[in-house]
Chain A
């Protein structure tokens, strides 16, 4: 019997559904392949619920508009791809230092510059972490299926609200355009975190107050609090400061609020890792091939296992380190010329060999390629 809730849809559509489920009421974006379907769908759906869809003049305007809307109290989203993501970096940094929740989707396409716009890649993993200048927090989620794009988009909004920070959903063109059957949960079925608002008197409100690592609630403009937000380093009251001690503390705080909660933010799928002798660390579309390869090797009695990070930043150091302790080698297939590979090498701390399987011809990594590499360690 057909399940009513089951739908056949594209990854980008699942992203839009996830955003709506999470309570997104504002989208601003600029057309770009291969992420445009997110905008197209939300341009239809958001007005139906009284939300705002805006097509801006460029990606810089888009990221700034979602931050502005978030300060107006709306959960906000933008979606883009490579070149647009490059343009958004300055705005991303503003959201980090001003601690404004918002969600940015980057559907990875191939190459620097215009590259091959319809071709997939996984080349923006490092940009997602280091793209904006200065030391800043990074929360980046890497779903691997259409269903997971839905869940991870909801989780992205939840993390953004919990930690008052921008969250990036990073997936490749293949998953973005792939169609799979997904189940849309009923309202209330999965948790949606709403923004904490201040309850104190307006004159007592300190938008950047901290005590014991807690994160101050964020008021919306026009609701009585009349506070100040700036991209300059600021004190607890939000106003600029030249005090070097406060500057240092503020920078450490915005980074530590993520890094110290890494265990809560990290999420991994472990597939046959318990007794694995050869490990694979893969994310996004490459993890689909990796999973297939692991299954095939298991059929042949080879103890292969897959660790699949759903959160790529903060990096799952602990899980990788644990895997490195028990395996002879870890393979890292990714559609770039080595990005997560170096992180795996770092987190493995020399406990096993780490080998990358890299590909940038816009064709997905074939399971056989991974199988061949696994065989070399048997």
Chain B
């Protein structure tokens, strides 16, 4: 018997399911990719990521995607590319697409193909524009910048989507939610009706590389936390302290791949489900999180630090002249927690030889090539998932 109950008329609302926006940040640091070239060459990794993006787009007609490269000297958009920075490529880009579409390319769903071409093209431009000087002078990657770019785009898309569909604006949600508010029932309903965004970082660089970006990184992480955007991290080599913290703070998925050859399967299983599906799934995430911080004076990653009580700056040793380097207030160094222990420093700056040749000279991410061997690794991958499941 049909009865009227209070909840009934809201069900119509929840059937309108919002699409999701996936932002992939690819760490293109050539120094780091060189170390895992044997297991997973860069071109293959990009091909795998493209298949993953296609899978994301396949899930919903209105799903969107954005790709940012976090490179040596800059962070850059790979997709979508705005007009001003890519004038020539974009203009003849359209023509080229119509022109060479008679090849085997037509066998591909058009929106998949457009993204692939655009990503490949802008990636090539990015690599071509990298001078040898950049290559030598930098070993790190602009992760904070790419996160900020990704967030700006998410903000823009969310506003645009809300205007089109009359949903809630992001700042209203953020004002309600606060960082400490746990997502309750109403928040979940609200989330269903605004654009769902998430960020995936494919990271290869080590944590010492990004220590100088500690504050901007943290700012971006808290922004994600406020906006309830999960940051997923797929770590192909090494381990990154701040990315662990990012996943922990935003309730994202953190996976450190022991076997990079199964990359695509990891992506498909661990990172494809969107926020709605994640409510029903047990996802492998990091339970032991490294909460070390970077000091302000030498940018070392420390687990014991000295904190200025005025401004909360972290130092790895009492600053010279007993004066805070950030806010300039004189510091009374008497209260050091009883004993003076020297800060232990775990991350040693490794001096690595730059790769002898420009390792990704001419490559082309051929998506079809990643088929066979990425399927052969399911045993290893399932073990990893089992591990994650058992921990819960």
Task: Check if A and B associate.
Answer: no
